[in-house]
Structure 1
Amino acid sequence: MNLTDRVAVITGGAGGIGAALGRRFAAEGAAAVVLADLDADAARAVAEGIGPVAHGVGLDVTDEAQVRALVDETERRCGRIDLFCANAGVATGGGVEAPDADWERAWQVNVLGHVHSARAVLPAMLRRGQGYLLFTCSAAGLLTAVGDAPYTATKHAAVGLAEWLAITYRDDGVRVSALCPQGVDTPMLAGGLAEGHLGARVIAASGAVLTPDQVADATIAGLAEERFLILPHPEVAGYARRRAEDPDGWQAGLRKLVRKLRAADQ
């Protein structure tokens, strides 16, 4: 996909990867960029910084009626949606002992948020015989977010959903990509580090932390080639192969890293 003259919607657009995507899409010549976020004021501020092609709105991706209303309003104003980026996500830093409310929140945002967007935009895309869905799934959806069971489980589900959509609708003209970065310098990672979350510490220890703008660059390249997996950290492909070929060895390596981090705390 070439972004020139395209209409794009980005959830979680008030910061991090979402804001970086918005800036880059506008720089690529997008006709309109809609930044939707739970923090409506922050989304509007980012849009103002981008310029007249951008528009910031409030959105709770767990509320399907709000998602449908956003899609309807964007199609009314702009005529169509060429690219819908389901980018909103939440982490918990918890294990299986995490409260049910944390598990439910992760499911609602990280999985059903994608379901709601697909339900809302697919009918018009299928009628036109073209469209693009981009899901931000995280490398955790291919590997594991050590220390965060709800995030791991829901991001794996998000990748599975993206793959199902790609298989089901590609022949009808709808493209699907799963964006799977590893460590990214966002408020989510910073907050995890501040709270001492093990997963955030593992990412920081890896030394492979990209800026949101670097992720946006990789996304543009992946969209141009219409790749299903967009991997801003190319090494994730190698990790996934090792995990598939030798799951016991892969898990042993992660356990060793966890032991090292925990020993440093003592």
Structure 2
Amino acid sequence: MRIADSVIVITGGGSGIGAGLVRRFAAEGAQALVVADYRIEGAAALAGELGDRVSAVEVDVTDEAAVADLVAGALAEHGRIDLFCSNAGIPTGVGLEGGEVADRAWQRAWNVHVMAHVYAARAVLPVMVEAGSGYLLNTASAAGLLSAPGDAPYSVSKHAAVAFAEWLAYQYRDRGIRVSVLCPMGVDTPLLMDGLNSGAAAAKAVAASGEVLGVQAVAEAVVRGLADERFLILPHPEVGTYWAGKAADVEHWLAGMARLAAAAGTTA
């Protein structure tokens, strides 16, 4: 996958990892970048910063019709989509508690972290398959391979996001489609830093797990991973080691996670 001269759509592109990808893809020579976000201000600021190659679109990725319109608009404007980055994400901080508020958090996490990827694939894959090539980059999290102490909906939905990307990767491989899933640990974005500033136990658990990377480092890992067409893109390489250790000895891994959860104050 070459970024130069590509037409790229990025959801959740107005801030955080998405904005870092937009800036890096622009620097790599992307032909056009369509930046979609629930809040248009960040995406519009990027368009103003980076020039005519970048366009901003306000999109709720949990609305299938809106995602379909995003794809249709990008195709009408640019004639093709080479890379679709499905990148939106939210924390919840919910554990096992019940009630309407908790249930809404579970549903919102599922809609943003899973169904948004499904809607994107439904909209863009037919066009890519017809063209004989295309690339999907789905942002998940290290939580999708490991876990997220203190945030059950995040952990569960990110596992599902990884599973869906895996299914796409083998199901469409012979049709010329490539898929990568981005699984970082802590990244210096509002999603994590707002939680740390408010003292959220789930955010503290993430920060205690390893180095908090800047978005530039994540974007660099993405560019390298796309160039190599790797399914798993791990900006924190140790995630691969932890994942292998989990598979090799799940009892030992669970004991370690229990210690991490207790240290971060996320246990019941």
TM range (shorter): over 0.9
Question: What's the counterpart of residue 77 of structure 1?
Answer: 77
Corresponding pairs, count: 263
How big is the shift at 1:259? 2.4
Q: Distance in 1 between matches of 2:251 and 2:29?
A: 47
| Counterpart mapping for 1:1-266 below 5 A | 1-97=1-97, 99-262=102-265
Residues 30-55 of structure 1 deviation map (CA, whole Å, 9 limit, x = unaligned): 00001100001221112211222111
Q: Distance in 2 between matches of 1:164 and 1:206?
A: 28
| Aligned AA (2:148) | A
How big is the shift at 1:207? 4.0
RMSD (Å) for aligned C-alpha atoms: 1.2
Answer whether contact 2:148 2:154 (CA < 8 A) is retained: yes
Partner of 1:144, secondary structure, is coil
How big is the shift at 1:262? 3.4
How big is the shift at 1:198? 2.0
Structure 2: gaps spanning 5 or more residues: none
| TM-score where L is the length of structure 2 | 0.96
How big is the shift at 1:236? 0.3
What is the identity percentage for the equivalent residue pairs of Structure 1 and Structure 2? 56
Q: Distance in 2 between matches of 1:259 and 1:86?
A: 33
Structure 1: gaps spanning 5 or more residues: none
Answer whether contact 1:93 1:192 (CA < 8 A) is retained: no
| Aligned AA (2:216) | D
Partner of 1:184, secondary structure, is coil
How big is the shift at 1:96? 2.2
| Aligned AA (1:125) | M
Once superposed, which parts of structure 1, at least 4 consecutive aligned residues long, lie more than 4 Å away?
none
Q: Distance in 1 between matches of 2:65 and 2:19?
A: 24
Answer whether contact 1:96 1:150 (CA < 8 A) is retained: no
Residues 192-239 of structure 1 deviation map (CA, whole Å, 9 limit, x = unaligned): 213322221012223411001110000000000000000000000000
| Aligned AA (2:80) | R
Partner of 1:94, secondary structure, is coil
| TM-score where L is the length of structure 1 | 0.96
Q: Distance in 2 between matches of 1:148 and 1:190?
A: 15
Answer whether contact 1:185 1:209 (CA < 8 A) is retained: yes
| Aligned AA (2:255) | A
Q: Distance in 2 between matches of 1:86 and 1:212?
A: 16
Partner of 1:210, secondary structure, is coil
Partner of 1:17, secondary structure, is helix
| Aligned AA (1:162) | A
Q: Distance in 2 between matches of 1:241 and 1:143?
A: 10
Q: Which moved more, 1:121-130 or 1:47-56?
A: 47-56
How big is the shift at 1:109? 0.5
Partner of 2:69, secondary structure, is helix
Q: Distance in 1 between matches of 2:17 and 2:201?
A: 22
Q: Distance in 2 between matches of 1:68 and 1:163?
A: 22
Partner of 2:265, secondary structure, is helix
